[in-house]
Amino acid sequence: MAFTFTNSYLQGVYEDVCKKNAHEPEFLQAVGEVLESLQPVVEQNQRLAKSGVIDRIVEPERSLLFRISWVDDHGRVQVNRGYRVQFSTAIGPSKGGLRFHPSVNLSIIKFLGFEQVFKNSLTGLPMGGGKGGADFDPKGKSDNEVMRFCQSFMTELQRHIGPDTDVPAGDIGVGAREIGYLFGQYKRIRNEFNGVLTGKGLSYGGSLARTEATGYGLCYFADEMLKAAGKSFQGQSVVISGSGNVAIYANQKATELGGKVIAMSDSNGYIVDENGIDYKVIQEIKEVKRARIKTYLDYVPTAKYFEGCQGIWTVPCGIALPCATQNEVHMEDVENLVKNGCKILAEGANMPTTLEATEYVQEHGIVFFPGKAANAGGVATSGLEMSQNSERLSWTFEEVDAKLKGIMVSIFHAIDDAAKRYGHEGNYVMGANIAGFEKVANAMMAQGIV
Ligand code: NDP
């Protein structure tokens, strides 16, 4: 992967990471991007190299890999592979979601865990970074199968996590249903009712507005940037990839702020509705019926459906919000976005834009916001859920939403300031990496070589 290092310490660390993790492309992509951004910081602060901060920050504190055996509805034994990477506890217990998807492997979990360290730091809350999951596909499984899988997964995971150690949450394939089963099994084994997981149901310690938080936060963040440029969502056409948790609530908030969401997708295809896509219809299709996005035509026959998800980026829009998965936006997609006059690309998903596509948009006048800043609203609200659990209190929707908005606004200004401080105004990739890194690095240096 083509990263340019002028700093020999960083180059050395990156080469070492490449040697040790040669078969982990997503992890190398995430590390390379961060280290490249940190060059001016490392050059101005010799202590970072002396105390080996970068050598340490690229190595997870602990990586767990375990077997999950369970029995399907036909009485057959199934075996999956489970992961939990506790990347950093420098500023708080490690925190990050669990992903259940057949594509899950150590590289993906490590890239997500590494990104999470900086994202969590940006929220201003005391949370370290981690990630986990399994190569289990909840699609097409019965509720009982999902429950048995979750119980088996938690039977191993429970010994490694805790409200002051590591606090998992949901991610792709892990929603309210899975968190419920995971929490139930944790409680059964440990005989403890605590805030060990976030994204819990409202009746057992969940936070209001957690479901909406990532999508809402993404739009609050983009709105703050638009305001700073004297603009708004009003009258802008918006394209959102995906139709899961992040995408649905990004649609709701973008619409409330005056935008018109004209296209959404799933992994099979995408829909275009020039009159604006009602998020409630998508919610019903995806959350209630667990059906394909194509079904949208049953509700709105005037809309159009296209097979294949990639074509969504050919739909002209002012604001693009990729909210599906990593590396879903490629070079030809951003060429189309630029050609069609897109002005903002804010990542709702984690690392959805490939490296070369990121460089291209930055060079062609699209304002680009990396996921580690733009989608931090989810984990920020998970942090608020942890606070409520510790206090044994529940805040109202409005209280949580107001705090979420405040956090997203301050993240925008923190990354904007960091980019300016190092002479790279408008480079929000650099701004996010630097602003997220500074707090973690200071904590690591204060705590000695551990
Ligand atoms: P969900 O599982 O709820 O939804 C994922 C959606 O993306 C589904 O609609 C899925 O469709 C679709 N999808 C998957 N691959 C593609 C593709 N190649 N093209 C188009 N659509 C695709 O996940 P979330 O919404 O929770 O997460 C989405 C992203 O946001 C992930 O990168 C996640 O890490 C990130 N994120 C999530 C947070 C959260 O709070 N949920 C917080 C921060 C980041 P299908 O049903 O066909 O698979």
User: pLDDT digits over 226-258, tens only?
Assistant: 998 899 999 999 999 999 999 999 999 999 999
β-bridge mates for residue 304, sequence order: 272
Q: Spell out which residues line ligand 1, taking CB within 6 angstroms.
A: 170-173, 214, 241-247, 265-268, 309, 323-325, 328, 348-350, 375, 378
The minimum-distance atom of ligand 1 relative to the CA of 270 is 20
The yes-or-no verdict on residue 1 having pLDDT over 80 is no
Identity of residue 108:
I
| Ligand 1 center to 290 CA (angstroms) | 14
Alpha carbon of 66 to ligand 1 centroid (Å): 24
Active site residue 294: no
Q: Which of 95, 131, 253, 260 is catalytic?
A: 131
- State which of 266, 286, 329 you would mutate to test the pocket of ligand 1, scoring each by most atoms of that ligand within 8 A of its C-beta: 266
Q: Which atom of ligand 1 is nearest to the CA of 325?
A: 32
pLDDT, one tens digit per residue, over 363-409 is: 999 999 999 999 999 999 999 999 999 999 999 999 999 999 999 99
Report which protein residue has its CA nearest ligand 1's atom 8: 244
Q: Which residues face 238 on adjacent strands?
A: 261, 319
- Distance separating alpha carbons of residues 218 and 347, to the nearest angstrom: 8
Point out the ligand 1 atom lying closest to the alpha carbon of residue 99.
Answer: 34
**Residues 6 or more apart in contact with residue 149 via CB below 8 angstroms:** 68, 70, 78, 80, 100, 134, 136, 138, 141
At 276-316, the pLDDT tens digits run: 999 999 999 998 998 999 999 999 999 999 999 999 999 99
- As a whole number, mean pLDDT of residues 432-438 equals 98
User: Which candidate, 439, 433, 438, places its Cα nearest to that of 32?
Assistant: 433
Ligand 1 center from residue 80 Cα (angstroms):
21
pLDDT digits (tens, 9 = 90+) for 87-96: 999 999 999 9
Atom 40 of ligand 1, residue of closest alpha carbon: 378
CA–CA gap between residue 264 and residue 311 (Å, rounded)? 11
**CA distance between the termini of the chain:** 30
Predicted confidence at residue 2, as pLDDT, reads 79
Give the sign of the dihedral formed by CA 207, CA 212, CA 218, CA 224.
negative
Among 172, 210, 328, 408, name the best residue to mutate to test ligand 1's pocket (greatest count of ligand atoms within 8 A of Cβ).
172
188 is written with which tokens?
A: 């059964």
Question: Is the pLDDT score of 8 beyond 90?
Answer: yes
The sign of the torsion formed by the CA atoms of 124, 359, 229, 256 equals: negative
**Residues sharing a CB contact under 8 Å with residue 213, sequence separation 6 or more, in sequence order:** 249, 377, 378, 380, 381, 382, 400, 404
CA-proximal residue: ligand 1, atom 3 (nearest): 244
423 pLDDT exceeds 90?
yes
Burial classification of residue 290, based on how many CB atoms lie within 10 Å of its CB (0-12 exposed, 13-18 middle, 19 or more buried): exposed
Q: Which letter, b or e, does each residue of 143-162 get, where b requires 16 or more Cβ atoms within 10 Å of its Cβ?
A: eebbbbbbbbbbbebbeebb
CA dist 345 and 369 (Å) reads 6
Q: pLDDT tens-digit profile of 78-117?
A: 999 999 999 999 999 999 999 999 999 999 999 999 999 9
How far does residue 218's CA lie from ligand 1's centre (Å)?
A: 14
% of the chain surpassing 90 pLDDT = 99
